[in-house]
Chains A and B, each alone.
Chain A
Amino acid sequence: MKVLVKILCLASGILFSVNSFAEAVVVIVNAKNTETLSQSAVKAIYSDIRYTWENGEKIKLFELPVKASARSVFTNKVLNKSAIEAEGDWSNRKVTNTIKNRPKIKRDKLVVKFVAKSVNAVGYVPASLAAGNDKIRVILTLD
């Protein structure tokens, strides 16, 4: 019985540690982009419902690999879905030919670079990667 309790404590410890140590994630746009985006607008963009900025320019969308922990934080907080479900939604849009704005999947450091370079880009990364970069602007913080 004691062994079982220990195992349960260990398992729950691991589970909670994963959540508690997850770093905050920030949604970033290019510093020259002055548009404000609410969380529901970000959700619409990452649900492929909205795919242009207010000026009509197409949004350049960046996603992280499905196994990136920041992607789990993002999809859980913004879409209320797991990263696997969110990836499944993109695949579904591809096969049903209803996809409007195919995202580019890049590693987090590259997402920062691409967003810093393109005025129409939007992405999300761990907060530490965005800190102190004056070429990008944080529009939403997901703790």
Chain B
Amino acid sequence: MSIRKYKRNLLCRSAGVIALALLISNGASASTESNNDLQKRLEQLEIKVAEQNEMLELQVEELEQNNEDLSTSIDHAMKISGYVDVEYKITDQEGKTDGFRMHHLSLFFTKQVNDNIKFFSEIEFEDAPKFEGADTHEGKIFVEAINFDYLSSQEMNLRVGRFFTPAGIWSEDHYPPFVATQERPKHIRKIFPQLVDGASVYGTFNLANAYFQYNTFFGNGDSKPLNGHNDENSSKAFGFRGNFIFPIADELHLGFTGYQDSTDHANGDADKTALGVHAKLRHGAMTWQAEWANADLNFAENSENYERDGYYLQGAYKVNDWLLGGRYDYYDSKSTGDNDLVRTSAFVNYRINENLVLKAEFHHDAYDKTSKEDVNFIVLSIVGYLGQ
């Protein structure tokens, strides 16, 4: 029975009892009972009503306590969510055919252990892998995140485990249900590593009307293949991202990232130093987003040093449930070579509801410095967020 119904019932019963007492009281003049007896009975009834009220209050308190316990238990329960995306790709690249791709099925397992500690993990199934006997396996199963956070205060918190490198914007904000394109800008994950196996300290400071977010981290450094078991060398990688948020237009983010790994196993044990800057401006229906990053790779004496460069500028305009936009994207994987790539993209998103989006995107890849042929391709996709 709900508290409201219980209260209503009790009020009705109390009113009935009091009304009966009053009726008895009114008829007292006609009855043979003395006024004193009636007075006594009325007092007894009042005591009973008071007792019942006390009981009711206790029961309401108990129910409220139960609700709070249930709410806490739900808050601290293991939660499962995820996302999924299915694509159809049309391409004019030689040797490639058009077709469907079961791109991602990713599952998140999270748990708020207590008020200060939370656990987060992500397991990604890419290209719907099938493992059976000694068959050759396509696709991958990948533990992309597994970490604990100790939430101390707004200014300082600690994370330990595997997490996406806090670098620029797209490195973390990359999930298909919440970005405009299935294809990420070309330099993402190639200058700063995709993941960190390590620890980070992060927080936010209030600066009058602005805010400063920081994230400083260290870890094993990038390795090839990615190794969650141990470090490939004794040197550790360090990084820092700072991000200012100003109340300009609707929101302006300006930030920078630095990263250093003296023995980068994923890049021939180079001494790698990477720097990046990023900006994001939202004004009404228009959002501009840009990132630039550069990595300086210094090798032992017998190898040639080189740099990696990349940047992009993306504009997106929102009209009701539609998002229209374009991106100019540049990536040079090796400054000493001629493999510069310029990608121009156009995209349309239609958001069916808060969890489901349809996307159409066109990309043109141009390799200006080589004889490599330009490539055009279209990706049509349906992307769903599987959480609440």
Contacts and interface: CB of A to CB of B under 8 A. Distances in A.
B385 A91 contact: yes
Given A40-B209, A49-B211, A96 B164 contact: yes
Contact of A94 (B145, B251, B387): B387
Minimum-distance CB pairs A-B, first 9: A92-B178, A87-B354, A52-B154, A97-B120, A84-B354, A80-B250, A96-B172, A95-B175, A49-B211
Contacts of B318: 85
A97 B145 contact: yes
B247 interface: yes
A92 B173 contact: yes
Interface of A: 40, 44, 47, 49-52, 56, 66, 79-80, 84-85, 87-88, 91-92, 94-98, 100
A88 B178 contact: yes
B317 to A, nearest CB: 13
B288 interface: no
B342 interface: no
Interface string B341-375: 00000000001011100000000000000000000
Interface residues of B, number: 39
A52 B211 CA distance: 13
A95 B178 contact: yes
B125 interface: no
Contact of A88 (B108, B120, B153, B354): B354
A98 B110 CA distance: 13
Interface string B307-323: 00000000000100100
B180 to A, nearest CB: 12
Interface string B146-160: 010101011000000
B330 interface: no
A88 B173 CA distance: 12
B99 interface: no
Contacts of A44: 211
Interface of B: 81, 83, 108, 110, 120, 122, 145, 147, 149, 151, 153-154, 163-164, 172-175, 177-178, 204, 206, 209, 211, 213, 245, 247, 250-251, 282, 284, 318, 321, 351, 353-355, 385, 387
Contacts of A40: 209, 247
B209 A56 contact: no
B206 A50 contact: yes
A91 B177 contact: yes
Contact of B83 (A47, A80, A95): A95
B178 A91 contact: yes
Main secondary structure of the interface of B (DSSP, over half): strand
Q: Which of A50, A91, A100 has the most CB of B within 10 A?
A: A91
Nearest to B251: A47
B278 to A, nearest CB: 15
Contacts of A97: 120, 145, 147, 149, 163-164
B232 to A, nearest CB: 25
Contact of B175 (A47, A52, A92): A92
Contacts of B154: 50-52, 56, 100
Given A66-B354, A91-B354, A91-B387, A96 B175 contact: yes
Contacts of A49: 204, 211, 213, 245
B250 A95 contact: no
B175 A84 contact: no
A38 to B, nearest CB: 8
A47 B280 CA distance: 15
A65 to B, nearest CB: 11
A68 B245 CA distance: 29
Contacts of A79: 250
A67 B307 CA distance: 50
B184 to A, nearest CB: 14
A52 B353 contact: no
11 contacts: A40-B209, A49-B211, A50-B154, A50-B211, A56-B153, A66-B354, A91-B177, A96-B164, A97-B145, A97-B147, A100-B151
A87 B388 CA distance: 9
B153 A98 contact: no
Contact of B108 (A47, A56, A95, A100): A95
A95 to B, nearest CB: 5
